[in-house]
Every structure is written in structure tokens, then in C-alpha cells.
């Protein structure tokens, strides 16, 4: 709890330095290749040397400060301690968080047979063009028609925007330092619109605004809070959240339950949203119950931790790349400036690797949605199993009980699948890390695939010695198996064969690679079932429950007709 806010930036930096130093005071280090516990600290856990700082609101520019402390104190991660500094990947310049969330948006609209990169569509949002996530996000398609948006200062309304000219103006604001909606050229706003300070007592509502926001004909004026509520409930294609705050809850939740008093007057219920898709570039924009309520009414939505995961993923790549290159710098194979130049050179490929993760995960959730009803009995057994051995608490995670699932008859919603996906991956990774399978020779290929091409070419001999090799391989295998095979894939393989999850998931990944699943176009729903059936049957064989001939027959019969190369996640309608 922050009891006293710093008086100025210098005091804030001093507090931050003290905080970072305190974290390192109680963190294990690696010195001369050996784990070294902190002095004068009683440890109640085992060795744990991994501690990184993730840039977030308020400290996004403090990475260099944290890294200077890490280097000065000899912490083993050096300047890999805090990602995004002067020698790291700038998330705003890369636009990586917004681009990752946009993969979710594109997937939702693809399911609706809309191509966001070629067809105009309407949007309302939370944020402004100076922000990282909102600003970058509203530049990811030239076909965005931004009808309205608001931040903590202004409300912007453009009832009938022109996609081409408004894109150019948004780009100008994005490039303008410390811009706000007040800087938007009034001449480019369609008739009946405008920019309104949130300090006004009342805002006149024009006929054009009534039409664009779906307001009743007798609405002539609204308070700023009422207008923002109307924007959130507008009948548009996309609600893009790139701001700070929680704006949507469930009907059976109170504002006190939400815990964001600042936005109590603005917040609406999930059932009141009239948009088709919600994209969560920002954190905590909706409560989980609010997401589920929206999804149960046919809305397309995942969760914030799915949509905006690219920022964290990018930071993970940066840290792991710096760890790999750290040995090369220490051994004199390259200088620090050469390392920094190589990092910059790999920026685009790192972004592609990160976006592929977002794309694959969105595909997995989209496919889960399509099979929600047919696999409901499996999902009920999975939930019970995770409660028993995986620490899942349905009430805390807003997951339905068996009776509610039975009453629905339609299965889980995508926000609920997102939680299930996370728990499945966490449980599998934990079990894989305890299994010697990760030390087998074939995992070298899995490890290499994690890194950009220049590192595979220049540092191949160093990869086996990466301090986080097993963790990287485990994460890669889990993502590959769960994203491609489906949330219930390993669970069903274990049920059918009795094999352990590590054996099923690890060797399933190997089998998927060898039979072609890893390179096939597994992302299209029309043949997803065929791909997953083949992979499941292959895993059954690998687990030792059926003969090679029988499995080979399945693969031959079900495989070739759906194997083709998948398109890049950067394409509009992959």
C-alpha cells in the first residue's frame, strides 16, 4: 500500500531505487556458476535466482535505473534484469502489446467473416492517441472508423468518420508529443461531432450523435459520465480498450465488488454492451464475470491476459536472448555494443515470434469455442481434475459449476476457456519441468526454434548451456501441444492411455513434428478436427497404447487432405 506519494520525480526515482535494492537483498544470485543465497537471510524455500522487472504504468521508463542497480550489485542477469531499457526492446516503438491484442481482434472478426485489414468497421474505445496500446492499436488498420473514444481528459465523438482521413489524423496525433483529443483537427470531425472536456456539466447531443451511439430520439443532453456510458454501449463492431480502469462488470456484481471507485459513474454491465467484439489491449478493463456475461449473449471476447500478453512475451524473449548472449560477451566473442546492435537487428523477427504466440493462442480459443458444446462432458471432467490436482478454485476464477454448465447446455465461453487454457498450461509445464524428458537430445530443436535466426546461426553451440534451457523447452512444448491439439488434448490422451501428462505432451509434440502437424495449416477450423484427431491418435501410439501399424493407418487416412502451409500472423485473414 502506497501511504505517501513521492513529491517529485527525483524522490520517485529514489524510492524506486530503494525498492529494487530491497528486492535484490532477498534474492538468490549466481556467482561463478554457483547459486549464492543472500546474506543474513533465512530461506524457507529452495534455490530461486530468477527475478526480473517488468515495465508497467509509472515505471515504464525506469528500466535503465533498475538495470544499473543490477549491474552494480553483480546480479547474474546484468542488464537483462529489467526489459525495455536503452539496450532492450521499446514496446511502444514496436507497438508489440497492441499488435498482439490485434491478433485476437482479427481472429474474432475472421469468425464473423469480416476482414479488418480490407473492410471498414466501426470502433469505440477507451484511451487517446498518445498512449502506447490505444495509439498503436488505432493505427493497425486503415479501415478503422473511430466513432468515439474517451480518456481521463476528453470525450471524442466523430459520428460518421471517414476511414482514410481519420487514420492520417490519428497518426499525426500519435506522433505529436503529449497529444490529447483536444489536438484533433475539428475540420476533420464529421457534422454533429466534437471534442468535449470531461469537466463540462452537460454536453448537447446532436442528431448525428444519437444515431451513431444508438440513443433514444428524446435524448438532447448528457453529462460527461452519461455520454461515456453511451459510448461503451454503442452499437459498433469493436470496443477497443487501451486505457486504465474497469469499465464493464456483470449485472450481479456491485461497483464495490469491482474495486475501481474512480469509474463507478461510467461502468456498464456486460449484458448492456452492443458491440460485436471486445479487444482488451489494457488490463482489467472488464471483470471476468462481465466478460462471461457479454460472451453468453453472443459477444466475441477473450481476456486481457490473452489479448495483451505480447508485451510480457516480448520481455521474456529479451531476457532470454540477453542471457544467451551474456556468455558470448563474457568470453570475448562480442562486445557489449555489438550485442546491442544484434539485439536491434533482431527486433522484427522477435516481434514475429511473439505475434505467432498470440495468433496461435487466439486460434486455440476460437477452436475451443467451436467445440464447446460437443466436448462439454470432457471439459466438466477436466475442471474436476484441475480442482483436485491443479489448485483450481472455480469461484475465484469465475468458472461455472457442473449444475450451471448443465443448465447452459452450450458449454464454456471463450473467457472461461482462456482461464482453463492457462491452468492446463501451468499444470503441464510444472509436470514437464520435473521430468527427464526435457533433457533428451531431440529437445535441442525445440530450444533453437524459440530464438531468432541470427542466434540459431551464431550461438547454436551455446544454447545447450542456457540457464533457462529446460524452462524454455517446457514452455515451447506446452504451447505447441495445447495450442495445436486443444485445451483438452493431453487430458484425453491421459484418460485413454493412462500415460503421464509429461510423456503424453512431450512425445506428442515430437510426434506432431514428425507426422507433419507442426508445419500443417492447423489454424483453419474446417480441418482442425482432422488435425487434432490425427495428433491425438499419434500420441496414443507414442504413449504405447496401440500398434505402430494401427497409428500409421490413422495418419495415412486422416492426414494428407488437410495439410497445407499456414499463412503469417501478420496477414489480414490468416
Enclosing H/E stretch for 120:
none
CA separation, residue 322 to residues 29, 89, 227, 275, 455 (Å): 17, 11, 48, 42, 11
Strand 144-150 with 154-157, pairing: antiparallel
- Domains of the chain, by residue range, sit at 9-86, 113-299, 316-517
Contacts of 484 (CB under 8 A, 6+ apart): 360, 364, 512, 517, 518, 522, 531, 532, 535
Q: What is the mean pLDDT of residues 424-432?
A: 92
Q: What is the mean pLDDT of residues 387-413?
A: 92
CA separation, residue 111 to residues 82, 105, 291, 350, 362 (Å): 38, 10, 18, 27, 11
pLDDT of residue 391: 87
The length of the chain in residues reads 574
The residues with which 277 forms a beta bridge, in sequence order, are: 238, 300
DSSP string of 416-469, one letter each residue: HHHHHHHHHHHHHHHHHHTSGGGGSTTHHHHHHHHS-HHHHHHSHHHHTT-TTH
Q: Give the pLDDT confidence of 147-191 residue by residue, as tens digits.
A: 999 999 999 999 999 999 999 999 999 999 999 999 999 999 999
Enclosing H/E stretch for 202:
none
Nearest to residue 248, comparing CAs of 290, 302, 284? 290
Rg of the chain in Å (alpha carbons): 25
- Between CA 148 and CA 163 the distance in angstroms is 13
Q: What is the mean pLDDT of residues 500-528?
A: 53
- Between CA 374 and CA 468 the distance in angstroms is 39
Q: Is the pLDDT of residue 536 over 70?
A: no
The residues with which 31 forms a beta bridge, in sequence order, are: 34
- Flag the least confident range among 1-15, 166-180, 416-430: 1-15
Q: Give the pLDDT confidence of 50-69 residue by residue, as tens digits.
A: 999 887 767 778 999 999 99
Buried b (16+ CB within 10 A) or exposed e, 294-319: bbbeebbbbbbebbbbbbbbbbbbbb
Contacts of 230 (CB under 8 A, 6+ apart): 213, 214, 215, 222
Q: What is the mean pLDDT of residues 361-382?
A: 94
pLDDT of residue 34: 93
- Would you call 444 exposed, middle or buried from its count of C-beta atoms within 10 A (0-12, 13-18, 19+)? middle
The residues with which 146 forms a beta bridge, in sequence order, are: 123
pLDDT of residue 563: 24
| Cβ-contact 281, 242 below 8 angstroms | yes
111 band by pLDDT with thresholds 50, 70 and 90: very high
- Average pLDDT along the chain: 88
Q: Is the pLDDT of residue 551 over 50?
A: no
- Between CA 171 and CA 154 the distance in angstroms is 18
CA separation, residue 135 to residues 96, 122, 148, 205, 331 (Å): 12, 16, 14, 26, 42
Which CATH code is given to the segment(s) 113-299? 3.40.50
- Between CA 297 and CA 326 the distance in angstroms is 51
Strand 144-150 with 203-204, pairing: unpaired
| Cβ-contact 571, 104 below 8 angstroms | no
- 347's grid cell: 527486433
Phi and psi at residue 213, to the nearest 5°: -95, 0
pLDDT of residue 572: 43
Amino acid at each position: 500500500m502506497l501511504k505517501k506519494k513521492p513529491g517529485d520525480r527525483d524522490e520517485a526515482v529514489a524510492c524506486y531505487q530503494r525498492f529494487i535494492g530491497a528486492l535484490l537483498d532477498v534474492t538468490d544470485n549466481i556467482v561463478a556458476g554457483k547459486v549464492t543465497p543472500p546474506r543474513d537471510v533465512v530461506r524457507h524455500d529452495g534455490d530461486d535466482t530468477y527475478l526480473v522487472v517488468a515495465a508497467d504504468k509509472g515505471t515504464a521508463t525506469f528500466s535503465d535505473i533498475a538495470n544499473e542497480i543490477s549491474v552494480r550489485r553483480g546480479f547474474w542477469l546484468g542488464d537483462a534484469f529489467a526489459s525495455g531499457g536503452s539496450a532492450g526492446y521499446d514496446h511502444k516503438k514496436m507497438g508489440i502489446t497492441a499488435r498482439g491484442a490485434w491478433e485476437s481482434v482479427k481472429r474474432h472478426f475472421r469468425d464473423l467473416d469480416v476482414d479488418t485489414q480490407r473492410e471498414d468497421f466501426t470502433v469505440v474505445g477507451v484511451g487517446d492517441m498518445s498512449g502506447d496500446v490505444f495509439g498503436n492499436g488505432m493505427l493497425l488498420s486503415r479501415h478503422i472508423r473511430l466513432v468515439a473514444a474517451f480518456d481521463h481528459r476528453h470525450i471524442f465523438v466523430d459520428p460518421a468518420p471517414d476511414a482514410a482521413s481519420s487514420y492520417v489524423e490519428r497518426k499525426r496525433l500519435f506522433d505529436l508529443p503529449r497529444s490529447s483529443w483536444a489536438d484533433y483537427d475539428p475540420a476533420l470531425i464529421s457534422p454533429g461531432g466534437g471534442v468535449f472536456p470531461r469537466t463540462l456539466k452537460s454536453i448537447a447531443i446532436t442528431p448525428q450523435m444519437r444515431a451513431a451511439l444508438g440513443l433514444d430520439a428524446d435524448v438532447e443532453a448528457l453529462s460527461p459520465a452519461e455520454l461515456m456510458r453511451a459510448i461503451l454501449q454503442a452499437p459498433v463492431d469493436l470496443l477497443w480498450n487501451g486505457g486504465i480502469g474497469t469499465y464493464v462488470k456483470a449485472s450481479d456484481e456491485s461497483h464495490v465488488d469491482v474495486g475501481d471507485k474512480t469509474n463507478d459513474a461510467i461502468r456498464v454491465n456486460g449484458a448492456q454492451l452492443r458491440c460485436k467484439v471486445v479487444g482488451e489491449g489494457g488490463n482489467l478493463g472488464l471483470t471476468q464475470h462481465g466478460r462471461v456475461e457479454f460472451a453468453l449473449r453472443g459477444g466475441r471476447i477473450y481476456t486481457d491476459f490473452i489479448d495483451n500478453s505480447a508485451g510480457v512475451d516480448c520481455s521474456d524473449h529479451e531476457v532470454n536472448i540477453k542471457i544467451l548472449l551474456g556468455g558470448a560477451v563474457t568470453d570475448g566473442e562480442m562486445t557489449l555494443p555489438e550485442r546491442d546492435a544484434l539485439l536491434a537487428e533482431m527486433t522484427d523477427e522477435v516481434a514475429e515470434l511473439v505475434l505467432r504466440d498470440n495468433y496461435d493462442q487466439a486460434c486455440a480459443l476460437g477452436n475451443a469455442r467451436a467445440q464447446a458444446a460437443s466436448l462439454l462432458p470432457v471439459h466438466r471432467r477436466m475442471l474436476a481434475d484441475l480442482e483436485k490436482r491443479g489448485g483450481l478454485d472455480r469461484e475465484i476464477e469465475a468458472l461455472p459449476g457442473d449444475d450451471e454448465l448443465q443448465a447452459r447446455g452450450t458449454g464454456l465461453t471463450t473467457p472461461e476457456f482462456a482461464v482453463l487454457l492457462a491452468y492446463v498450461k501451468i499444470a503441464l509445464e510444472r509436470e514437464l519441468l520435473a521430468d527427464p524428458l526435457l533433457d533428451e537430445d531431440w529437445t535441442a530443436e525445440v530450444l533453437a526454434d524459440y530464438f531468432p535466426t541470427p542466434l540459431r546461426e551464431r550461438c547454436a553451440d551455446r544454447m545447450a548451456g542456457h540457464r533457462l534451457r529446460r524452462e524454455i523447452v517446457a514452455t515451447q512444448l506446452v504451447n505447441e501441444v495445447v495450442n495445436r491439439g486443444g485445451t483438452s488434448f493431453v487430458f484425453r490422451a491421459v484418460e485413454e492411455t493412462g500415460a503421464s501428462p509429461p510423456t503424453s505432451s512431450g512425445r506428442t509434440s515430437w510426434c506432431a513434428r514428425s507426422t507433419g502437424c507442426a508445419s500443417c495449416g492447423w489454424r483453419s477450423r474446417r480441418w482442425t478436427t482432422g488435425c487434432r484427431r490425427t495428433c491425438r491418435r499419434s500420441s496414443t501410439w507414442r504413449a504405447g497404447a496401440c500398434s505402430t501399424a494401427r497409428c500409421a493407418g490413422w495418419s495415412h487416412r486422416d492426414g494428407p487432405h488437410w495439410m497445407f502451409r499456414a499463412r503469417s500472423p501478420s496477414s489480414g485473414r490468416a
